[in-house]
Structure 1
Amino acid sequence: MKFVAFERAKQGTGASRRLRITGRTPGIVYGGTAEPTLIELDHNALWHALKKEAFHASVLQMEHAGKTTEVLLRDVQYHPFKQLVLHIDFQRIDANTKMKKKVPLHYSGEENSPAVKVDQCLINHIATELEISCMPKDLPEFIAVDLSNLTKGHSLHAKDITLPAGVTVVAPGSSNPVLVAVVATKAEAPTPQEAAAAAGDNKKKK
């Protein structure tokens, strides 16, 4: 995706407030070998771009001062109740250096899984995105996850999914985080052996 950024001459709270009144959003671009650059963007164009998933999880082409630079969206600050972007941060990327980025998980097929069709279980999506490491050229817009083989009593972990070529999972605090859990909707009736054992226990208590 491409977007256009303009040079921002002034910084500070007052300057940013005046900029927003004119329909512009203040921002910054940092990283790489260049110094951080203050920018401003057309707010309406930015607002619509932010509604697209690819704008959050793709390498972006930023046109600025007659040059095109590859960047990643790193942070967005929204107004607490107005439809207003207060500030936005981008990071320059190096095509020859691995990067880390959170990308969305697109789940499908759960309605055809044995867990749902046979056992009427609920599928709980524990994670909606996954942090990955890859070269910029290998960054996926999303990761597709097929749930059609889910069965009762089993969860889906990061190591269970097929990742695009060149992509590895970054999972701080866990080497294999849970992505999806299968939850039974009701308690099962006890087996005859379990019922007999329970009845025996009740007699002993009396």
Structure 2
Amino acid sequence: MPDSFQLQAALREDAGKGASRRLRRESDLVPAILYGAGKDPQSLSIPHKDLYKSCEDEAFFSRVISLEVEGKKQDAIVKDLQRHPSKDRILHVDFFRVQMDQEIIVEVPLHFLNEDTCVGVKQGGGNISRPMTSVEISCLPGLLPEFIEVDIADLEVGSSIHMSELNLAEGLTIPALVQGADYDQVVVACNVMRRSEDSEAAGMDQTGDDAQSLQTGSAESASSEGTDSEKE
């Protein structure tokens, strides 16, 4: 993982869908926009191969990026990125300018640790559920983490970890929690697994009982027929 991400971008004058299509088709460039920090938006173009390579690293989406536009460097983060629905191509990217002394709100991925040794799974036969794969945090750009780790080694069956229980580094906060306890969502849970074997076992027992009843009924019928024959 690189210490920082740097991209070269050029200003573009043409706007609109038609211009963007020509840019992608004829020059192998990705149309982009840079906005925020109280400055005018800038329409940019970035070489597809450079942007694609950066996107291969998960950290690209949660790190401050140095954009060099016409020889001037600007700090920014990725706000939105559009991909082609069927081709391995990037269609457009939105960058948001940041100032290093002002807090920003960014979606940061969650990395779940020790799932294979989780006590709820190993000892309780539970099943891990992950309602959240990322969390929105607020911090200064220089403190922005690549990801947040969630250790579930001690998670027991029927237990869960909420956003308020995440181990955040100093300087990081979760804006949603300011709104109250109702917004403290479950990040990961260990649920009781419903075993199909129990249902199958119950079905086998029932089948066995039915078979026994049939055998008993047949034996009683045969005995009755034998008695009737003797009487004749």
Query: Which position in structure 2 is the counterpart of 1:180?
Result: 188
* Counterparts of 1:3 and 1:144, CA distance in 2: 28
* Pairwise CA RMSD: 1.8
Give the counterpart letter for 2:88 in structure 1: Q
Structure 2 length as normaliser, TM-score? 0.77
* Counterparts of 1:153 and 1:163, CA distance in 2: 24
**Greater share of residues in helix:** 2
2:58 maps to which of 37, 53, 62:
53
State the shift of 1:175 in Å.
2.9
Q: Does 1:62 align with 2:70?
A: no
Superposition pairs for residues 156-175 of structure 1, below 5 Å? 156-171=161-176, 174-175=182-183
* Counterparts of 2:80 and 2:193, CA distance in 1: 39
State the shift of 1:162 in Å.
0.7
* Counterparts of 1:17 and 1:46, CA distance in 2: 17
Superposition pairs for residues 19-168 of structure 1, below 5 Å? 19-21=23-25, 22-168=27-173
Identity %: 35
User: More displaced, 71-80 or 165-174?
Assistant: 165-174
Structure 1 length as normaliser, TM-score? 0.86
State the shift of 1:15 in Å.
1.4
* Counterparts of 2:123 and 2:146, CA distance in 1: 33
Runs of 4+ with deviation above 4 angstroms? none
* Counterparts of 1:64 and 1:123, CA distance in 2: 46
* Counterparts of 2:132 and 2:156, CA distance in 1: 18
Q: SS at the partner of 2:94?
A: strand
Query: Which position in structure 1 is the counterpart of 2:9?
Result: 5
Stretches of structure 2 that go unaligned for 5 or more consecutive residues are 199-232
Stretches of structure 1 that go unaligned for 5 or more consecutive residues are 190-206
Computing the radius of gyration from Cα coordinates, the structure with the larger value is 2
Counting matched residue pairs gives: 189
Q: Which digits, 9 at most, give the CA deviation of each residue in 1:152-196, with x for residues without a partner?
A: 111111111210110011228743110001111236x9xxxxxxx
Q: Which digits, 9 at most, give the CA deviation of each residue in 1:71-91, with x for residues without a partner?
A: 010111222212222211100
Query: Which position in structure 2 is the counterpart of 1:16?
Result: 20
